Structure 1
């Protein structure tokens, strides 16, 4: 899912894409200030949806590749969940830099914005090693299978190279999503509850006997009764605590004879 640009800095987005299991697996930088144009965790197809035709953009894409899907020993079923760390340790990760030149960009702007390419590459290189650089003027120029062919051509022909394939990419992308969900659940469980965050309520302060009587007798006061008694001495049991209800005489009315 893509994240709005204003919610994340370029440093955070590039750092996440450069990390082995970062929250984002692609990010696009706008050309004026090299701020975030968009970033997300949905892979290359999601990134393509954010390539504006009237912009020059500089992108970084993390391509993870899982186990060799043809191997029965290492392949996972769709519902299997490898132990944390095991999946990432056996995963191959490649980073691809994308230089997007939208077809609707005028010549003057294109020249000015393209001049930021080297600066963008320097910023990206602070967070990951770029295996392949791709220039694109059409979305079709960013075909996944073409990129994979370039990666395999630049990778030693061993067992690891065989795992750089379209199936391995989608397998690893799915595994990354599972890992993000698991991290999210752990973070939610670790958060303190609202009750834990709230400071304890202060004990209500009690008026002295004199103040309570004065408040009850005051016609303008919001109080019209009070209970008075004695505190129980420590270690002693009291049979009953003497109490008296105090109410203004104007409310009680005149006292009857003999009362």
Structure 2
């Protein structure tokens, strides 16, 4: 009897394992799109999408990012999840992260889908920029970091999108507080995400955008004058190298 029970347990484990493998194998663009349309499955779909997208590109893994944007170039199913009067931060976080995962690819190995990236940026700028700006004042550090990372990914699509984000983003004095939101344990924090957002304009923007950025008194100066000594060496090096390669030539050309 003991052996039989053991055999049954093994079979049960094998069955569960097969089901999990099957679910993962079947998660493609079409399945993801269908899940987004079902309220009870949308968030699970986004979580699975993000988890998978972080591993891509990978030759042994189905490219769900490419699979999805091929059949939904406007990513309308994801944007539809932002509709409604009240959005929970936890839901907005995964929505923004999902869109960021797409943007990171359209700015790199999926650059032939750059139109998808531009479409996402245009949609966010025209309909959701106010929502993102408001979200930057949240007390949830992880959520604020995600919003800033999403903005950086939008800028990284190229000079045109950098200009578009720059012209629609309200650089208020209240944002300077983001440069001071540091993690005492040295983990990735709001300040780092804010710094990367600022540098993204220097990396992807054209001379006109960079020139406008340098004229602002409360953006880059806030970052450079608050907490630079406590930043990681890698962050300091990134700031210095970006300023050297992007700001120096820009100043000389003026």
Under TM normalisation by the shorter chain, which class is it? under 0.3
Give the TM-score normalised by structure 2: 0.24
Give the TM-score normalised by structure 1: 0.24
Structure holding more helix per residue: 2
Of structures 1 and 2, the one scoring higher in RCO (CA 8 A, sep 6+) is 1
Structure holding more strand per residue: 1
